[in-house]
Amino acid sequence: MTEKRGGKGGARYRREKREAVSQRQREEIKQQERESKILQLTEFVTANDLANMMDVPVTSVIATCMNLGVMVAINQRLDAETINIVADEFGYKTKFVSADVIEAIAEEEDNLEDLLPRPPIVTVMGHVDHGKTSLLDSIRNTNVIEGEAGGITQHIGAYNVKLPDGRKITFLDTPGHEAFTAMRARGAKVTDVAIIIVAADDNVMPQTVEAINHAGAAGVPIVFAINKVDKPGANPEKIKERLAEMNYLVEDWGGKYQSQDISAKKGTGINELLEKVLLEADLLELKANPNRKASGSIVESSLDKGRGYVATVLVENGTLKQGDVLLAGSYYGRVKAMFNERNQKINEAGPSEPALVLGLNGAPQAGDTFNVMESDQDARNVAARREQLQREQSLRTQKMLTLDDIGRRIAIGNFQQLNIIVKGDVDGSVEALSDSLIRLSTEEIQVNVIHKAVGQISESDVTLAAASDGVIIGFQVRPSLGARREAEKQGIDIRLYSIIYDAIEEVKAAMEGMLSPDIKEEITANVEVLDVFKITKVGTVAGSMVRDGKIKRTHKIRLIRDGIVIFTGELDSLKRFKEDVREVASGYECGISIKNFNDIKVGDIIESYEQIEVKKTL
């Protein structure tokens, strides 16, 4: 009986198992069908590419475009709107992705048994004056504050800190002002935990709110460090109250966010803060496989006069070794040498470890991903494809205004453009400065960053500025001798800065100079007509009294009768006792004749005014 039941039960079990497998396969096929109807592409695909993706004849794509009134050739690139409409005609949806995603390197899956715990990557964010650098200084027991221009961390850095218990934390240092939004947003992408620093003797500032929003948007756990608790007037509870108003309730107040009162200068509360950071990190169960080809993110890149292009990289998975072929963005190269944050030479860097790398053929953007490739040839091929796509993308995006925009702005009047070339010592600063300058654009003046790059200001930069009637802004870089001479010859303005806000303010001032001034009218005198005389060859002369102000011969006037403006024009003459005078003050009588107007009556009011140009501000 048991055997029989077991046989039947076994058969039923196998049947159910087969049905479950079959059901799962059907679901997978449906999912694949759904996904197959979504085209992943960049905006820069040709009619032929689109036809191949949809597995239809290219003639069908061209015919569909013609029906839309768009004439295209087989190898002509299509814009996003046309791609969407054509794909929809053939039953496909579109998903636009960046060139880097299309050219992304296929990541190999890791086995769970190969994954080992890795140190957390922590970003310290906050307001410029709230002690972020002091906190990092206190943690690292080094001094990086002295000599920083404007008291601001100009360049992103990554630091690996070993704690007394042997555990490690990698700190990502992002500049602390809202002008560096782009850099900070990139910094949050590779972050496991964010420390938001707020001064207890101040308030939650806009930059702090921005930093919190970046961390929140990236889904990064937040630990609040309330600094300067040792200062007179410090009120940590006020900060916690303000955070609570923003829906960030700290644990002390019954919420879920950790906070720690600290004094970065005295070093109090630092160990407790780090314990809370590690507690948050432990909940994430951070793991990586050190025994594979490295991949990670570019933290910063620059051009070093003695060493060529250098990039600070943060390894997220695998181990980066000297001699590896590195691909980052549209640049590649073999790792010639590696250094840690203390400028000591190292041979490899594992997960969550930062390293300064030499050997790339250019300066990739902060936030770019990097991968170790099999060979120089593979890296070169992918880099070339990415560069081509980026070039096409930049050509497209340089046309930042549509014809409708230009037409609308010209209708407003006095539409102008300010073309700027930005050169800097590191990519992060170049990007942040460019973003800040573009945001200065107004309805009347469009700011175009026509070229931006890392490195010295060259003669080709000057040539481009001359061709586009632009100015060159250098941040922490100088022009070459040839560029300086060429700029003098061509009359090109090269502005050099070491503090980013000076650059923004000066460009803003220059833009205000480009604006058409506002014309402000100022009433200068109020004159009452007491008597009227008709004089041959002269016309009508009004015997008048200046009731208020001072009337001048050069002022414009309007004649007002019963509160209505009868005439607007200029004076023909201004006299006192038959003598021509330049001006007549309040309380004095005078004789007035008006150019090309004689219909003056007793009781009329002559109002004089002048038009003053007022410099327009942004």
User: Mind listing the pLDDT tens digit for each residue in 361-417?
Assistant: 988 877 788 999 988 888 888 888 877 766 665 554 444 344 354 445 445 555 577
Task: State what percent of residues in the chain have pLDDT above 70.
Answer: 79
Pair 218, 189: CB distance under 8 Å: yes
Domain limits, CATH 3.40.50.300, in the chain: 119-285
Domain limits, CATH 2.40.30.10, in the chain: 295-391, 518-614
The two tokens of residue 284 are 């994430």
Nearest to 193, CA basis, from 294, 283, 315: 283
> What local confidence, expressed as pLDDT, does residue 516 receive?
58
pLDDT in tens, 489-502: 888 888 888 888 88
Pair 198, 130: CB distance under 8 Å: yes
0.75 cut: is pTM over it? no
Total Cβ atoms within 10 A of residue 117: 14
The whole-number average pLDDT for the span 220-242 is 88
Q: Model confidence at 224, in pLDDT bands (50, 70, 90)?
A: very high
Nearest to 223, CA basis, from 125, 118, 117, 354: 125
| Domain 295-391: CATH class, spelled out | mainly beta
Q: Following DSSP, what letter does each residue of 146-180 receive, concatenated?
A: TT-GGGS--S-EEEEEE-TTS-EEEEEE---SGGG
- CATH code of the domain occupying 119-285: 3.40.50.300
CA 573/CA 582 separation, integer angstroms: 9
| Domain 518-614: CATH class, spelled out | mainly beta
Between the CA atoms of 271, 275, 277 and 278, what dihedral angle is there, to the nearest 10 degrees?
Answer: 130
Q: Is the pLDDT of residue 220 over 50?
A: yes
φ, ψ (nearest 5 deg) of residue 103: -95, 20
**Fold category of 399-514 in CATH:** Rossmann fold (3.40.50)
Domain limits, CATH 3.40.50.10050, in the chain: 399-514
CA 365/CA 327 separation, integer angstroms: 12
CA 617/CA 614 separation, integer angstroms: 9
Pair 38, 92: CB distance under 8 Å: yes
Higher pLDDT, 91 or 515: 91
Higher pLDDT, 153 or 108: 108
